[in-house]
Structure 1
Amino acid sequence: MEKEKISNNELKGLGINDVEILVSFSRVANGLLQHGVMAKPEILANLEALIDDPMPYALRKGGKFKNLAESIIAIRKEGKFMKQERSNFKLKEEIAEFPVWGLEHIEVGALAQMRTAVKLPIAVAGALMPDAHQGYGLPIGGVLATTANTIIPFAVGVDIACRMCLSIFDIPAEAVDTETDKLRNILVDNTYFGMGCTTKSYFDGSLFDSNTWNETKVIRSLKDKAYAQLGTSGTGNHFVEWGELTIGDGALDNIPAGRYLALLSHSGSRGFGGTVANHYSKIAMTKTKLPDEAKHLAWLDLDKDEGIEYWIAMNLAGEYASANHHEIHNKIARALGVRPITRIENHHNFAWKEQLADGTDVMVHRKGATPAGKGVLGIIPGSMSTPGFLVRGKGEVTSINSASHGAGRLMSRTAAFKMLDKAVIAANLVEKRITLMGSDMDEASMAYKDIHAVMAAQNDLVEVLAKFEPRIVRMADAREKPED
């Protein structure tokens, strides 16, 4: 098998035309590649940054690019290989328009971020969901369709493939009251929370037999970490909880109307997805220079190595996030001694190749938004003491077949610690009969928007099939750094 190589044409693409410089760059770049020090996209990104400004590399003690940087500085003193200004991408000048659901619930910062996003030169359409709030680049609750061969890592999100999973058991909902201790202990014994937490036993590790784990250097380097974290939930707003699910007449095939015991979980691709997101976001921001207000919306091209690599890693993160939830639900079902009658799940931090209503091929980024194509099932949670909803999408084309992914934050975590009252939070949990393990004031229901108002704002996007009321809730310990 031929070894991977960085070609002279790729180096010339960085603006290197002098033969001597080309030889030097090729020697260093391919040396790093062949010895497995860095992946190809990372090497090219560093070389591009070095050409822009060699001084930080020259000052770095023992740095891999120190000699190259010093050479460039010396050559430039002779008036050679002067820095060429690269043309930056400009935003569209026309007024950015996009539909907004629940405008009265959305902060100005999120609206401003969405206006910037739809002015990207690659933007085709956008929409803002009623739970939207400010994030990095694209707001959480933002949906952005771009040209089909582009993908924006920060518009997918740092927690790639963060998702919901619901298991419904043929057990009366009253079990949350009659068997509280048993259900609580099952959660304690079979769930793992915390930054970097790991597990030691697995229900099904077969995902790791996939050849995709050998596709790229970045993925290979993270395989062991991903395996160790299989079946864990992390921190922030991630949870695993028992609750009462009320299903209406004819809402779900083969499940009669009634009140059922159900298990709901929320988490993503853990350290694997976070590392992939940060790695390729940096490469995108180096490759795609945008005005400051749009810099986090830098994209990768899917016909180039780094774009292909990110696409492979993102999709693997999706499979991994699903496997995480299945691991949790399967272990809990085994401990309960009852198999679920059905399981429903969906991503809400991902990018999909789709078509708009007019047939245009696009890449749809849903950052904190639930897929809501016609007939598609999804889960929209509330908070630890407010209901979530099992929904069916209506396929509204102007929302790009999307809906909210939850209630959405009403205040920042810092504001929650400053403004909320512990006694009021505790009284609310008692009133709602919530047994809570872990969490802190920044995840209290008062830190979130009113889920009922959010659902009312999107009744043209989804049909509510069932209501889930949390009763026994497990989250990360207080003061754990949030990963969401």
Structure 2
Amino acid sequence: MTTTEFDPVTGDQLKDWGHPPGKQFPALLKKANALRAEGFGLVRIRAELEADRIVPPPTLPLRAPGEVPFHLTIEAETPDEEDNVAKVRETMTALMRTPTIEAGAVMPDACPAGPVGTIPVGGVAAARGAIHPGMHSADICCSVMMTDLGAVDPKAVLDAAQSVTHFGPGGRPQGKRFTVSMKLMDAFRENRFLNHPKILRMAQEHMGTQGDGNHFLFIGRSRATGRVAMVTHHGSRGPGAVLYKLGMEVAEKFRRKLSPETLKQNAWIPADTDEGRAYWEALQLIRKWTKANHNAIHQATVEAAGAESHDRFWNEHNFVFKRGDLYLHGKGATPAWDDWATDATPHTLIPLNMAEPVLVVRGKDAGHGLGFAPHGAGRNFSRTEHRRRMGEMTPDQALVAETEGLDVRFFAGKVDASELPSSYKRADAVVRQIKSYDLAEIEDYIDPYGCIMAGDVPPFWLNRKKKKRR
């Protein structure tokens, strides 16, 4: 229909006049049509609205290649390692082009973790005024906790731990759940990100659970004291995974507006916005939930074993840390400076693999590591490639060959070959590079007695398909 002087002004006309859609549209339409009712023509109305036109800020372009350098604290000693380092260098080079990033570092245990431009495992990225959910990943606050149990029988502790812990997908059934602090749950409800039905439900169901993959419960003995220690490794489970998804959705909205050229996985939430402040607070609350989850499993094991709990400390390695006016994103990287958190202790933990010790280290705050140390041993190739290289050897045979003398248990009963020591980088090389790059001082080794892992658990979507077919 041809526009006449009696036709109302529409939203499409406002957009044609250069007004970006937004909260101001209803008021603009009301003003425009009030002028229309007074007999003003479209040219005059457009001129009257010009003063109200919001001019969007210019978008932020990607940084030039090489504009922001990064530190490599990793060495390649084999062809597999050379290939791995080349891929890590390629993805970090692309990551450094993100407009908010001002520095980066790569740890000795680094390996790629997605498409080019995705922060690798063992990667650190420092951003100014921005929180990047994709740089802490879905496993928010993946972390390790150690409890000194004194002079106890390690087998008795491992048996007790197996009776109380929970591995695999999902949470604990009704009647077998661990208690969650009501104060913490109330804090969840007050946060715009965490006040989500799925998060609130999972916060109850997943307390006292460890998930799958490389998460574990490890029992070993300190070389320094001869005392038995328990170490757990897991993250924020379902609540953290849903928070990550919500954070990525908000970050994507900002990306489209602020920097469309930025890769989707590197989208960010501006820290000085309402969304940024709420997301930062949500991360701190998820951190409290995760620490409580570790504590619940440790305390239940102590009670089931009739043991005593002595020293206990923990540290995360998938998180965002604020230092000055920079947000340090560690993806599989351990903070190694004093006071990295209000509950920080002088020591942090670096596990290697099920047949090797857990390192107890004191951080060196190395500038070339942006203050971080590695989080473990990392991988040189994928889980699928590791299975291929096993040839005709079965997972059970490989387990016996690689963990002789150790009590290694898989919660689901079936050995997960992709978690055997041979699937990881050589532990001695990682230890050597920690020392050569002066990233941390190793003060103790917790030698392995045994551990519990999830095992070869079918993915949750496969079980859903089976149920639908039935």
How has the CA–CA distance of structure 1 residues 474 and 295 changed in structure 2, closer, same or farther, with 3 Å as cutoff?
Answer: same
- 2:283 is the alignment partner of 1:317: no
**2:170 is paired with a residue of what secondary structure?**
coil
Q: Partner residue of 2:332?
A: 368
**2:97 is paired with a residue of what secondary structure?**
coil
Q: Partner residue of 1:404?
A: 374
Aligned with 1:286 (options 247, 250, 253): 253
Q: Which has the larger radius of gyration?
A: 2
**2:220 is paired with a residue of what secondary structure?**
strand
> 1:57-103: CA deviations, max 9, x gaps?
xxxxxxxxxxxxxxxxxxxxxxxxxxx99965321115142111113
- 2:203 is the alignment partner of 1:226: yes
Write the letter of the residue equivalent to 1:378. T
Q: Partner residue of 1:32?
A: none
Q: Partner residue of 1:152?
A: 132
Alpha carbons 1:437, 1:474 under 8 Å: kept: yes
Alpha carbons 1:347, 1:370 under 8 Å: kept: yes
How has the CA–CA distance of structure 1 residues 20 and 396 changed in structure 2, closer, same or farther, with 3 Å as cutoff?
Answer: closer
Superposition deviation, residue 410 in structure 1: 2.2
How has the CA–CA distance of structure 1 residues 164 and 207 changed in structure 2, closer, same or farther, with 3 Å as cutoff?
Answer: farther
**1:457 is paired with a residue of what secondary structure?**
helix
**2:139 is paired with a residue of what secondary structure?**
coil
Q: Could you say what the CA RMSD is over the residues aligned between the two structures, in angstroms?
A: 2.6
Q: Partner residue of 2:180?
A: 205
Q: Partner residue of 1:140?
A: 121
Write the letter of the residue equivalent to 1:186. A
Q: Partner residue of 1:337?
A: 306
Aligned with 2:160 (options 172, 178, 186): 186
Q: Partner residue of 1:124?
A: 102
Q: Partner residue of 2:398?
A: 425
Aligned with 2:72 (options 96, 100, 106): 100
Q: Could you tell me how far apart the structure 2 residues matched to 1:325 and 1:372 are?
A: 21
The unaligned stretches of length 5 or more in structure 1 are 1-11, 24-83, 248-257, 356-360
Q: Could you tell me how far apart the structure 1 residues matched to 2:29 and 2:229 are?
A: 62
How has the CA–CA distance of structure 1 residues 469 and 286 changed in structure 2, closer, same or farther, with 3 Å as cutoff?
Answer: same
Q: Partner residue of 1:27?
A: none
How has the CA–CA distance of structure 1 residues 292 and 191 changed in structure 2, closer, same or farther, with 3 Å as cutoff?
Answer: farther
> 1:305-328: CA deviations, max 9, x gaps?
322222122111111110000000
After TM superposition, list the pairs within 5 Å mapping 1:260-279 onto structure 2.
260-279=227-246
Superposition deviation, residue 378 in structure 1: 0.8
- 2:409 is the alignment partner of 1:442: no
Q: Could you tell me how far apart the structure 1 residues matched to 2:200 and 2:160 are?
A: 28
How has the CA–CA distance of structure 1 residues 344 and 22 changed in structure 2, closer, same or farther, with 3 Å as cutoff?
Answer: farther
Q: Partner residue of 1:91?
A: 62
Alpha carbons 1:125, 1:145 under 8 Å: kept: yes
Q: Could you tell me how far apart the structure 1 residues matched to 2:103 and 2:372 are?
A: 13
> 1:371-424: CA deviations, max 9, x gaps?
101583111001122222011101112211100000002221222222223365
Alpha carbons 2:98, 2:262 under 8 Å: kept: no
Alpha carbons 1:387, 1:451 under 8 Å: kept: no
Superposition deviation, residue 118 in structure 1: 2.1
The unaligned stretches of length 5 or more in structure 2 are 1-18, 31-54, 339-344, 462-470
Write the letter of the residue equivalent to 2:307. V
**1:224 is paired with a residue of what secondary structure?**
helix
Write the letter of the residue equivalent to 2:361. V
- 2:276 is the alignment partner of 1:307: yes
Superposition deviation, residue 454 in structure 1: 0.8
Q: Partner residue of 2:465?
A: none
Structure 1 residue runs of 4 or more that deviate by more than 3 Å after TM superposition: 12-23, 84-89, 199-204, 207-211, 289-293, 479-483
Q: Partner residue of 2:16?
A: none
